[in-house]
Amino acid sequence: MNHWLLKSEPEAYSIDDLAREGETIWDGIRNYQARNYLKSAAVGDRCFFYHSSADPLGIAGLCEVTETMVVDPTQFDPSSDYFDPKSRDAEPRWHTVRVKFVEKFARVLTLHELQAAFTGDELMVVRKGNRLSVMPVNEDAARRILELAAR
DNA sequence: GCCAACGTTGGC
DNA sequence: GCCAACGTTGGC
């Protein structure tokens, strides 16, 4: 089982939204590197749910991959912000995952705490200038994040 | 294939 | 609102 970190602006979709809905298709990824990471995810992988452009900023909870290689439906929806006119039904460009809610942390594990606990090499999200919305979290970092969140 | 211009993300 | 750090686009 691998761990990932998924960013979302809570104004658009928050951990509370996922808690209420139970599961969701992680749609709207339009960056190839992020997409490629999602393509390599497996059912059962755990994902840290990160609130970006928010207060507080940081990891708000945990979810789990329940389905992989899900065709992102928004790419074919002309009314969606994520509509991609270059994508074709027979050859969709954007695949993603379905995730289910696992837990909301008792408190947000803030970016500041993550920056204090990890170097950029240990955890991508604390790297300066990092903009990726999907990134891998190695097993040592994942274990330490869960320990910090449980404190 | 290069690269300048432009757009986006996201912390601060 | 600013701006660093990219990614994308399109002319050549």
What is the average pLDDT value for chain A, to the nearest integer? 93
Q: CB–CB of A126/A99 below 8 Å?
A: no
For chain A, the distance separating the N- and C-terminal CA atoms, rounded to the nearest angstrom, is: 24
pTM: 0.93
Q: CA–C1' span, A106 to B7, in Å?
A: 37
Q: Where are the domains of chain A?
A: 3-150
**Quick one: fold of A3-150?**
ph1033 like fold (3.10.590)
| A112 CB neighbours strand B below 7 A | yes
Distance of alpha carbon A125 from alpha carbon A62, whole angstroms: 16
pLDDT, tens digit, for every residue of A57-93? 999 999 999 999 999 988 888 888 888 877 777 778 8
Q: CA–C1' span, A129 to C2, in Å?
A: 14
